[in-house]
Chains A and B, each alone.
Chain A
């Protein structure tokens, strides 16, 4: 009742709003992720954002209503780990500075097909093993990369395998980070010495007069330095607490991503191949502190369940494929995503194949895991909210909640049910696909 009142209140507050911007969608059920499942839901969309969602909300007169009681709505699917439409190949090199956004070629059919499958966000990563570069988050629609791009540099992809070359690559990256820190430290010491010298000089020269105006002098010094450091003032502000005026030397392009990792401005997505790689990863990163998610490709005879408790304990995001796998050398089924979820990890699921067909059957494949014991809500979040979190867009995407982008996908039944089809897709408030129109 209370909610109803609020709704009418809110709606009453904007009576003059252009009705074209405002749309109320009444559906049989909403899988909101944030608030779980809501039956007989109403979703109010305005200016490409979700304004309200609730059960059986009365809709004020004058607001256009899309009434589809047989439909089920959920947030647009988020595939955070894709190379759809990208075709470059690369070796096992150390190229953390490379950006996948430079590679995207927007006018391609696959993006349209993916969008029609209900996928409203893609995280495109650069090709190659080793450390191939940084991923970009896009909406699968737009004439050029500016139109498509949601956010660039969403994660740094790292490909770690249990072998010497792979581990050495990462070890050296952290060594170089250490060297850079040394360099910064030295530069700072030098800068501080210079500061003191300048002070002494100025104080000497003016000692004949009086020593009262030290404050002024300092301010003068600052103004002297200011012009030389003008271009890097942004960084100054951040480093302000450490010492005003000091500018750390610019890191090399290959080191910079790791500096950003360390400073928590960038996160990493680390791809492992088997359970043992996890131990080797821990051995390499030691006490380096940075944010990272894991990409664990599931295939038959994979043993990631061995490290599920350890990964779950750290509450990491784990990007996996929706597969029921076999315990190595047995016929015993393992539902690794379910085991990861039970252990406390945040499960993210991506399509089995990075093709049109893969995206189309994606949700059904996830449904298979639900049938074999994965929690339903976990499964829903795994293709929406948790995936958005990996892209650093968790505040904006992945859930039907007020303030989020109105990325919605409408089904003619339970999305996990075989036979259920996408009826319509809304991308940022705009219907971009409707089954009826075809």
Chain B
């Protein structure tokens, strides 16, 4: 009987939630991540298997009663999110929670999609001891018992290796060559440290997914399974006005790739098997992948002229450029919008205008809002994509939401600012089918905040990754003592706050609370009835 009830439940949910659940994302660009959605990944396969399995084995997790900011523009007040095996199964009201569902009471709190940190240092997932110790002889000396390690070499682990774009680009270039080799596992996956305390900092900042060495990983603690999402989705392209050679070679590459694609299509249209298939020889694989939409092209540019040139290039060959920096983007926002560009910016960047020119230039607090208005998808990164403990309103990942808050100050809408640190970076990493918003079918990666996530006062109270509680502020040594969570009055169903020296006239909110419990009781009766059947 029980199993029958459990089987009934999801079906009931679907019908119940048909209109309640949030609409599909209205952003029309499926090109970025949409095509990537087909890409297989370990987790997805697991999910499928679980579906085949009996529902009895499923792990249910629910965040109950919070104001759900789905990240798609809609807000569901006091709603519940239910996940099955780490994937969101339903969002809505009066959900029937299957037996054994683990619940997290989020009433009075706001629930947001987990934030996505672009270009984060690999210190987060490799921990204190992840970097350094390159020289095995040195390590050997450290190892036996030559004392607690005070060696400056190991302390260099604090130096961020993956942080600089140049290093990343170099890494990506290296990896470019052996994409054909099909490495069994991602390097990030093999060096993941789920006990890293930087993981705690990241989750405390609301980040549940980070880009490390051009790979998107989930921040899971105490386990290394299912952390890898996707890698090498951003392909660095060098295109700088200061280096004409780079322009020439990049154009050549795209020319060849475009020509090859034209020939390939012509050959496919003919359908003659006798004709020879056009040769891939001499065609740059990364340019080809960019044109085929398999990956996104990444540029580093800030100057107006360079931005224009990139926009032009992108429109010529028909792809969507991702521009890191983009400081003067606000001066050429229309052009970038036409090119369908993505911009990865830091609202608090400061750069003076070049006084040689009369035209507008330099950085502007309005950069994000102007780009967004022109149709450019804006992702926001802090100045230093690491955790450096240098002050509360620092410019590191501790304050990723705060950085987005500065974009709001410059005129960006709150919804767009949230998207700039959730779904847009997810698209840039090719993982927007898994993370970035709270929608049915996506991963249950959510943060529960005690206020607006973009407000400086707000603390992340809980972080849930893949349907599992990964962070509880009250239990973290670094955060529990700062503004401790107030205890909530515990009410039994039907009980009222009578003994409390409360104000004589009960608040409307309290009345609501009083009303809710009977509802739950009704639900319980329903269950019993069903059991009876």
Instruction: Give A residues with C-beta under 8 Å from B.
Output: 81-83, 89-92, 127-130, 161-164, 167, 171, 271, 273-276, 279-280, 283, 297-301, 303, 306-307, 321, 323, 327-330, 332, 350-354, 358
Partner of A162, one of B130, B137, B140: B130
CA of A128 to CA of B137 in the docked complex: distance in angstroms?
A: 7
For B195, what are the chain A residues with a Cβ–Cβ distance below 8 Å?
A: 274-276, 303, 306-307
Minimum C-beta distance from B396 to chain A (A)? 15
Q: Does B525 sit at the interface, judged by CB under 8 A?
A: no
Determine if A82 and B187 form an interchain contact, defined as CB atoms under 8 angstroms apart.
no
Determine if B145 and A352 form an interchain contact, defined as CB atoms under 8 angstroms apart.
yes
* Complex A-B: 19 CB contacts under 8 Å: A83-B144, A90-B137, A129-B140, A162-B126, A163-B187, A163-B191, A167-B190, A275-B193, A276-B192, A276-B193, A279-B223, A280-B190, A297-B143, A299-B148, A323-B148, A327-B477, A332-B477, A353-B145, A353-B147
For B183, what are the chain A residues with a Cβ–Cβ distance below 8 Å?
A: 164
The 9 A-B pairs of least Cβ separation, nearest first, read A276-B193, A92-B136, A129-B136, A275-B195, A164-B190, A306-B195, A299-B149, A279-B224, A354-B144
Determine if A276 and B196 form an interchain contact, defined as CB atoms under 8 angstroms apart.
yes
Contact with A along B177-207 (1 / 0, CB 8 A): 0000001110100111111110000000000
Smallest Cβ-Cβ distance to B154: which chain A residue: A299
For B196, what are the chain A residues with a Cβ–Cβ distance below 8 Å?
A: 276
CA of A167 to CA of B192 in the docked complex: distance in angstroms?
A: 12
Smallest Cβ-Cβ distance to B143: which chain A residue: A297
CA of A167 to CA of B222 in the docked complex: distance in angstroms?
A: 19
CA of A332 to CA of B145 in the docked complex: distance in angstroms?
A: 23
Determine if A162 and B197 form an interchain contact, defined as CB atoms under 8 angstroms apart.
no
Instruction: Give B residues with C-beta under 8 Å from A.
Output: 126-130, 133, 136-137, 139-140, 142-149, 183-185, 187, 190-197, 222-224, 477-478
For A171, what are the chain B residues with a Cβ–Cβ distance below 8 Å?
A: 184
Minimum C-beta distance from B388 to chain A (A)? 12
For B126, what are the chain A residues with a Cβ–Cβ distance below 8 Å?
A: 162
CA of A90 to CA of B135 in the docked complex: distance in angstroms?
A: 11
For B193, what are the chain A residues with a Cβ–Cβ distance below 8 Å?
A: 162, 274-276
For A275, what are the chain B residues with a Cβ–Cβ distance below 8 Å?
A: 193, 195
For A321, what are the chain B residues with a Cβ–Cβ distance below 8 Å?
A: 145
CA of A332 to CA of B197 in the docked complex: distance in angstroms?
A: 14
The answer to whether residues A301 and B128 also contact, given A330-B477, A353-B147 and a CB cut-off of 8 A, is yes
CA of A301 to CA of B147 in the docked complex: distance in angstroms?
A: 14
The answer to whether residues A274 and B129 also contact, given A164-B191, A283-B224 and a CB cut-off of 8 A, is yes
For B223, what are the chain A residues with a Cβ–Cβ distance below 8 Å?
A: 279
Smallest Cβ-Cβ distance to B221: which chain A residue: A306
Partner of B190, one of A90, A163, A327, A332: A163
For A332, what are the chain B residues with a Cβ–Cβ distance below 8 Å?
A: 477
Minimum C-beta distance from B323 to chain A (A)? 31
For B147, what are the chain A residues with a Cβ–Cβ distance below 8 Å?
A: 352-353
Determine if B140 and A300 form an interchain contact, defined as CB atoms under 8 angstroms apart.
no
Most B-side CB within 10 Å, residue of A163, A323, A327, A330? A163
Determine if A82 and B144 form an interchain contact, defined as CB atoms under 8 angstroms apart.
yes
Determine if A354 and B224 form an interchain contact, defined as CB atoms under 8 angstroms apart.
no
For A83, what are the chain B residues with a Cβ–Cβ distance below 8 Å?
A: 144
Smallest Cβ-Cβ distance to B183: which chain A residue: A164
For A350, what are the chain B residues with a Cβ–Cβ distance below 8 Å?
A: 145
Determine if B191 and A81 form an interchain contact, defined as CB atoms under 8 angstroms apart.
no
Minimum C-beta distance from B310 to chain A (A)? 34
Smallest Cβ-Cβ distance to A273: which chain B residue: B129
CA of A82 to CA of B478 in the docked complex: distance in angstroms?
A: 38
Determine if B194 and A89 form an interchain contact, defined as CB atoms under 8 angstroms apart.
no
Determine if B224 and A276 form an interchain contact, defined as CB atoms under 8 angstroms apart.
yes
Minimum C-beta distance from A277 to chain B (A)? 9
Minimum C-beta distance from A312 to chain B (A)? 15
Partner of A130, one of B128, B136, B148, B184: B136
Determine if B140 and A279 form an interchain contact, defined as CB atoms under 8 angstroms apart.
no
